[in-house]
Structure 1
Amino acid sequence: MTETPTINLVERHLGDWARARLPSPLAEFVMFVLKQGWACLFGGLLLAAIIGSKLIWQADWSLRRYDALFLFAIVTQILFLHFRLETWEEAKVILLFHLTGTAMEWFKVSAGSWSYPEEALFKIMGVPLFSGFMYAAVGSYMARVIRLFDMRFHPYPPFAQTFLLAAAIYANFFLHHFLMDVRIGLFVATLVLFARTRIWFRITRHHLWMPLPVAAFLSSLALWVAENVGTATGTWLYSGQSVGQMVSLSKLGSWYLLLYVSFVTVTLVAPATIRTPPDDLRSGPNRSAPSR
């Protein structure tokens, strides 16, 4: 994805700061944490807004909390683009996540899977409009983390097969309300199709790798923790769940599957991630890539 001068400047300052002050192994770890934090900046700000608004909001305020979260998300997204903290290519990913996520929200809320208990002006079919930005935050993280870590998915399965799997996963989120839930088969399919796929990533110089299914599980675990924050604040609740009760571990599996839809969505707008192997693989293990 094309980088902008603002993104380059901020990220290089972070890298220069860590490398100048820390021993090499510790600098690697610190850079990994900083890059992960920078990648999930949009989601982190939205999560902070959810927690902060719950702590300070008063029932008699004229502006509803959900509406404030919606306005906060819009302003944040505008500022990200204005200050070039996200590229327009990344914005395409975010928009796709927003649209597919909002469609799922409308269906799931109408089906009684979860609910948003508070009132809001910007609320359609029981779904406050800020909810689409929660899915957009996942898209923002995916797009940014790929760029920050110079990620490559290699070797990658035939794209047609990955698209069919993603479509089947997304469809099952809807169809299991009427037909048999085939998520067990989908779990198996993700492992069969992506068993050989590695996510190659670079913290500073050389590419490292992690099996894609492992990365999907770790990411889904982080999303499950974030979802517990959302339900703990009463921002949304699953059917039969009370405020403070932990989200069922079955939702961890749902996020795991949804992340495969995310991977395929990203490859639609960033095909180089699957078509171009890392420099280390093309030019030999001793070649060093430019550090950031």
Structure 2
Amino acid sequence: MQRATSLERRIDAAAHRLLRDAPANGIRAFLVEFAVFVLKQAWACIFGAALLVVIVVARLWYPDDVALARNDALTIAAVLIQVAMLVFRLESGRELWVILLFHVTGTVMELFKTDVGSWAYAADGILRIGGVPLFSGFMYAAVGSYMVRVYRLFDLGFTRYPRRWLTALVALAIYANFFAHHYWWDARWVLLIAVLVLWLPTVMHARVWRRTLRIPLLLAFAGVAVFIYFAENIGTLAGAWAYPDQADGWQPVSPSKLVSWFLLMIISVVLVTWVYPPKAPAQVRAGT
């Protein structure tokens, strides 16, 4: 396992001891590989899952008459989760930098989007910048945490990955469009075409245990965007924030947000590649 934390190396060694006598073929082998895949995905999602649980718990059981506002409590809880991730060796210091970059990038967009009325948060608490409670940046950090963790948990390798400078240009254009489309023509469909042209040939190689999955990278992007969309529905249902069409009562988030989340995935992937440069599968296996 490349770039694993010390705790993950111990877990990986224990898992190998447990699974060394597992069958290599047949239905039992498939079930073992599937179980390992699910567990690795769950492990990669631990930051986002913990934050989502805190949001739901605060919605259901946090008292309305306490001195500490719910948004402030969520911010403190998010900070504690991040500290725990480092203390218990669930993230490395190197990964923390890219997660902080996600945090800053997301907070800047939150400040703009709330100002133009794209969505809104409850107006309580003091741990905020303008109309944006500070816990919101941790939701973007949760995406960053997943991205850097899934990269090393599955020893990701890539064939026909586009040049990073081209991907950086597209990611910058996508980020700029999140702001500019409020005042100018919305270029998201042109950007979507650019994404398809760049990444359509790319195949991701993900080691589960004995087997390595080969997945078109765009399909992986779309799958993660769908899961984020489901999490967004849970977050809005729990009252963490609301879109304008939810002001008079909750309703599912518009499916059009799937395109936004898909494009946000491109920004996320490009940020992570500056910490973990994409490598061919043979280089990953060799540890180069």
The residue number in structure 1 matching 2:280 is: 277
Matched, 1:225 2:230: yes
Which deviates the most, 118-127 or 141-150? 118-127
Could you tell me how far apart the structure 1 residues matched to 2:48 and 2:38 are? 15
Aligned partners of 1:2 and 1:89 also within 8 Å: no
Calculate the TM-score normalised by the size of structure 2: 0.92
Matched, 1:169 2:174: yes
Alpha carbons of structure 1 residues 18 and 47: separation in structure 2 relative to 1, 3 Å: farther
The residue number in structure 2 matching 1:142 is: 147
Matches within 5 A, 1:140-289: 140-242=145-247, 243-271=249-277, 274=278, 276-279=279-282
Q: What is the CA-CA distance between 1:20 and the residue it aligns to?
A: 5.8
Aligned partners of 1:73 and 1:133 also within 8 Å: yes
Aligned partners of 1:207 and 1:278 also within 8 Å: no
The residue number in structure 1 matching 2:88 is: 83
Q: What is the CA-CA distance between 1:63 and the residue it aligns to?
A: 1.3
1:91-148 Cα deviation digits (max 9, x unpaired): 1221110010000000000010000024111021100000000000000000000100
Could you tell me how far apart the structure 2 residues matched to 1:208 and 1:269 are? 23
- Match for 1:159: what amino acid? R
- Match for 2:208: what amino acid? I
Q: What is the CA-CA distance between 1:212 and the residue it aligns to?
A: 1.1
SS at match of 2:161: coil
Which deviates the most, 146-155 or 4-13? 4-13
The residue number in structure 1 matching 2:4 is: 3
Gaps of 5+ in 1: 284-288
Q: Kindly, what percent of the aligned residue pairs are identical?
A: 46
SS at match of 1:237: coil
Could you tell me how far apart the structure 2 residues matched to 1:155 and 1:247 are? 35
Aligned partners of 1:57 and 1:65 also within 8 Å: yes
SS at match of 2:246: coil
Gaps of 5+ in 2: none
Aligned partners of 2:22 and 2:29 also within 8 Å: no
- Match for 1:241: what amino acid? Q
Q: What is the CA-CA distance between 1:15 and the residue it aligns to?
A: 5.1
Alpha carbons of structure 1 residues 204 and 48: separation in structure 2 relative to 1, 3 Å: same
Which deviates the most, 3-12 or 33-42? 3-12
The residue number in structure 2 matching 1:48 is: 53
- Match for 1:3: what amino acid? A
1:48-82 Cα deviation digits (max 9, x unpaired): 00011111012101111111111111111111111
Could you tell me how far apart the structure 1 residues matched to 2:18 and 2:250 are? 40
Could you tell me how far apart the structure 2 residues matched to 1:113 and 1:165 are? 23
Which deviates the most, 238-247 or 84-93? 238-247
Which deviates the most, 17-26 or 40-49? 17-26
